[in-house]
Structures are given as C-alpha cells and as structure tokens.
Amino acid sequence: MSSSTAAAEARTQEYEFEQMNLQVGGRIQLITHRTLKPIQHFSTVIGWIKDEYMIVKVPLENGAPVSLAEGDKLTIRVFSGVNVCAFSTVVLRVFDRPLLYAHVAFPTQIQGTSLRTAMRVKVDIPAQLASAGGIKTNVFLVNLSVSGALIESEGPLPTGNSKVALSFTLLAPPDNRQVLVNTYAHVRNTNAIKPATADRPAMHTYGVQFSGLDPTHYTLLQNLTYEALIADRQKIV
C-alpha cells in the first residue's frame, strides 16, 4: 500500500488518551507555533499525570535546547503503530539545564486517523536468521513493521510457517544508540526469486511475522514507522 493510499483510507475521529498507546520513552513530534510557519521537532515522552499534565523532553536543535516558555502553544503528534493522533496543548512549566524537560497541559481533545494495522517502512538492514535446527543464515531486511518484516536471502529458508530466530540492529533515538533486537518469527510466505543486480546476487524473498517481540523493541519499530510517516513518506511501503 502506498502512502497516498494509506492517507486516502484514513478517517479523522475523536480518540481517548489511552488509544494513543503512549509509552514512557516513546517518541513524539512536538510542533511550536511561535513563528508564522509551525516548526516541527522530535521529542520524547517522560511521563504524565492523567487529567493534569504531561512531561516531555525539551527538543534539541543543533545541540541546543529549543526555546520554550510558559504559555507557548504546542501541537503534539503521536504515532501508535495503528493510529496517528494529534492534540493542542500549552506549556505549563519549563525545567532548564541540566534537566531539559517541560510540563504541558494534559490533552482534552485528541484527533486521530486510523491507518492500517502495521504500516511497513523500507529499510536495508543486515540480519541473521537461525532455523529450529540451529543453522544460521545471513539475510537482509528490506522492510519492517511492528508485526513483521520482508527478508531477502541468497539461499532458501525453511517454509511452511516455520519458526525461526531473527537478530538485527536498530538505532535508538535520540543519540542513535545501537540496540540489538532478538525475536522469534514465523515464515508466512515465500515470494519469487529476485533477479541478481550489479550490487547483489539473486535473492529469495520471504515474509515473516514476529512472535514475542520485546515491548522496548516494539516501541523502536513504532518510532521508525512514525518518523517515516512524518518525515519521509517515500519510505512507507
């Protein structure tokens, strides 16, 4: 599904706070309205007290904290992996260095659009796959979602809903720290062999569905999809 198709299928509706599926450490988009043109920044949720306030990290720009002041109007966008939600809020209090976080008003009205269950993002990530017999194969992930991946392999892999172990590395915001993801997956389908190119030999392609993905890694995949949706829609499959 293309990004334009996904957008066309989206329908704006009211959401409850819980439907945003916010998680401490989850990435959000924070939009300031101090200038004629709103400016978008990425931030992180630190926590909240329901119906009182939320705590968010003050975004950095070129290594310096973005200027926020009490009373500033903000728009916050959240991508849950299923829904894209947005709400208006105001800055209640700013805690400068070394803390660099802010209290903002708890949302009273949340607008959102429901997208497909697991939007996929184009990637090119080396990974290692291990079959039930312990045979390890080097593969490439060519797209990722919170529910699974599309894999390319030089050699054939076990099929018939086989359970495999999959390992790959993601970059965690805000400092692009490398995080090793280890998860089980089921090989759900096999596609035709992809012809050889100047860069790679012929590849077998497989769709896999994650099983027992760690919640922290789920959040990282959410962030990956969210950033692609907001910043680079060409990466949405």
- pLDDT tens, per residue, the chain with 237 residues: 344 444 444 457 898 998 888 889 888 889 999 888 889 898 999 999 999 999 999 999 888 999 999 999 999 988 765 677 899 999 999 999 899 999 999 999 999 876 555 678 889 999 999 987 788 999 999 999 888 999 998 888 776 668 899 999 998 876 778 999 999 999 877 766 777 777 777 888 999 999 988 888 887 887 787 777 666 656 666
CATH of the domain at 140: 2.40.10.220
Triad 169, 175, 181: Cα angle to 5°: 20
CB under 8 Å to 58, separation ≥6 — which residues?
43, 65, 66, 68, 94, 100, 101, 102
The identity of residue 141, as a single letter, is L
* Amino acid in position 108: T
Same domain (yes/no): 161, 109: no
> Are 55 and 102 in the same domain?
yes
End position of a domain, from candidates 114, 144, 160: 114
Phi, psi of 201, rounded to the nearest 5 degrees: -75, 180
Instruction: Tell me which residue range forms the domain holding 175.
Output: 121-235
Regarding whether 125 and 95 lie in a shared domain, the answer is no
> Quick check: helix, strand or coil at residue 59?
coil
d(CA 170, CA 80): 18
203/183 same-domain check: yes
167 and 92 inside one domain = no
